[in-house]
Chain A
Amino acid sequence: MEIKINHLYHSFNQQAEPVQALEDISLDLVSGGFTAIVGPSGCGKSTLLRLLAGLLQPTSGSILIDGALPGQAAARKQISWMAQSPALLPWYTVYKNVELAREVNPQNHNGTTPKQLLEMMDLLDFADAYPHQLSGGMQQRAALARALSLAPRLWLMDEPFASLDALTREELGREVLQLWAQFKPTVVWVTHNIHEAVLLADRVVVLSRRPAEVLDDFHISLPRPRSELQSGYQTTVQKIRSSLGIVL
């Protein structure tokens, strides 16, 4: 799905003084692209994703997803959004949690079964366990399975690998890329891990400290499958790092 973000501003009116979270963000994301968004923590990356998911209304500016507002795209069940917290229903088993996403969104699952996804996440042995019986990393994998079971059109992922160890991160990265190649969804992937961004995305957008502005925009043309050893990888990482270094 093609996403057009036009002069987007967002501020929160929690205290007497409004907190400016996003300042004049304009981005065009091509359909089927994998865009990683990196930036210092607390800069407004999650806010941007929430706006894209239609969970928040922008203060000014606009977001168009294939020409429609995020709320409309969500109503057509074209969006799968994954929050930073696993947000699993504690009263259902892991399996039921994944299955539930499809029950609520019957018209938009992508043909993968909960069983396949749990196997992919190495959680099949815990299908009948309840979320409170899982570690933080396992909960996040279950939430990832739930998000990936939905909407081949647009994936909005908010640091989905945050509480995973490096090894699992690498493995799941490959699985995610495989699903992406299979269904060609548009992906917006928020992360603070530069390596993760370079390994997965074909475009990396660097946001500044709050209020977030677009600092840099890198197109990653490294051939896939990518690894940290391939030529050009380290220079790309360095470039993004120095771009972030300005604000750090």
Chain B
Amino acid sequence: MKERSKDGIHAAWILLPILLGWELIVVLAQIPVYILPAPSQVIFSLTTRLPEFTHAALITGGEALAGLILGFITGAATALGLGIWPRLERSIMTIAIFIKSTPIVAVAPLLTIWFGFGILPKIIITGLMTFFPVLVNVLSGLHAADPALLDVFHSWKASRREILWYVRIPAAAPYVFAALKVSGPLAFIGAVVAEWTGASGGLGRTMWMAYTNLNLPILFAAVSLLAGLGMLLFSGLTLLEKKMVFWMNPET
């Protein structure tokens, strides 16, 4: 934990001069605000519209999280099903790769037409985007169990279900977190892009409005909020990972 806060301070020391330089260049070169806003202007618009931004961030964050959970549950359940019935692996993977190869972003307008401007189409798109990495990672995690452990269970003639429960699923845990760390940022991309195709609220919607009005301070504020949300999710997952996969990289 101490190391982490130190890392944060180091990052701030690197970031601060960049922001100051940026501010200085914008002021000295008199760059118009519709080309590049100064950091101070971004912070100003963020603080003056804090309630609206909070509301939008909650919507987008909620969509991303709900979609991630949806994609995770379906992806992990599919992987588990394939762990029990390995013969289905080829056919299911073909379908999964078909979903993966479809540019989900291109499907977003369609889903908006079907399901309206609410949060449902955003959750579906986010779920579709996160489904595949979760499926692939959990599947390889289930296959990654230590052969020495499997030998012990085979010598006991343990059932497939027992091996899955005691060996394969715990062995897949590190892969699950790898999957979530890849899918987390994808979830925000999914939610924001879905909002661009039409939404009643959210940071994507805020960005779209700011873009059409060439209000760059708001655009930048929304982008930095999105980055912040992504980092929050990532560090939350890292923390959870340390708790749950305690046998990997132990501190002692």
Give residues in A with beta carbon < 8 Å to B: 53-55, 71, 74-75, 77, 79-81, 83, 85, 87, 89-91, 100-101, 104-105, 130-133, 150
Closest 3 CB pairs of A and B: A90-B247, A81-B155, A87-B148
Interface residue ranges, B against A (CB under 8 Å): 146, 148-149, 151-158, 162, 166-167, 170, 173, 246-247, 250, 252
| A-B CB contacts (within 8 Å), total count | 50
Give the shortest distance, in Å, between A80 (CB) and chain B (any CB).
Answer: 8
With a CB–CB cut-off of 8 A, which chain A residues contact B247? Answer: 90-91, 130-132
Query: Cβ of A131: which chain B residues have Cβ within 8 Å of it?
Result: 247
Which residues of A sit under 8 angstroms from B157, Cβ to Cβ?
54, 71, 74-75, 77
With A130-B247, A133-B250 given, name 7 new contacts (CB 8 A).
Answer: A54-B155, A77-B156, A85-B148, A87-B152, A89-B149, A91-B247, A133-B252
**Which residues of B are found within 8 Å of A91, using beta-carbon distances?**
170, 173, 247
Closest chain A CB from B167 CB (angstroms): 7
**Smallest CB gap from B250: residue in A:** A132
Q: Which residues of A contact B158 (CB under 8 A)?
A: 104
Complex alpha-carbon distance, A133 and B252, angstroms: 8
Complex: chain B residue closest to A108, CB-CB: B156
Complex CA gap A114/B120 in Å reads 52
Residue of A nearest to B171 (CB): A91
Q: Which residues of chain A have C-beta atoms less than 8 A from B156's C-beta?
A: 74, 77, 101, 104-105, 150
The residues of B that contact A90 with a CB separation of less than 8 Å are: 247
Q: Which residues of A contact B152 (CB under 8 A)?
A: 81, 83, 87
Question: Are A104 and B166 in contact, CB atoms less than 8 angstroms apart?
Answer: yes
Residues of chain A contacted by B153 (CB below 8 angstroms): 104
In angstroms, Cα B158 to Cα A104, docked, is 6
Q: How far is the CA of A183 from the CA of B148 in the complex (A)?
A: 27
| Contact sample, A vs B, 29 pairs, CB 8 Å cutoff | A54-B157, A55-B151, A55-B155, A71-B157, A74-B156, A74-B157, A77-B156, A77-B157, A80-B155, A81-B152, A81-B155, A83-B152, A87-B146, A87-B148, A89-B149, A89-B167, A89-B170, A90-B247, A91-B170, A91-B247, A104-B156, A104-B162, A104-B166, A105-B156, A130-B246, A130-B247, A131-B247, A132-B250, A150-B156
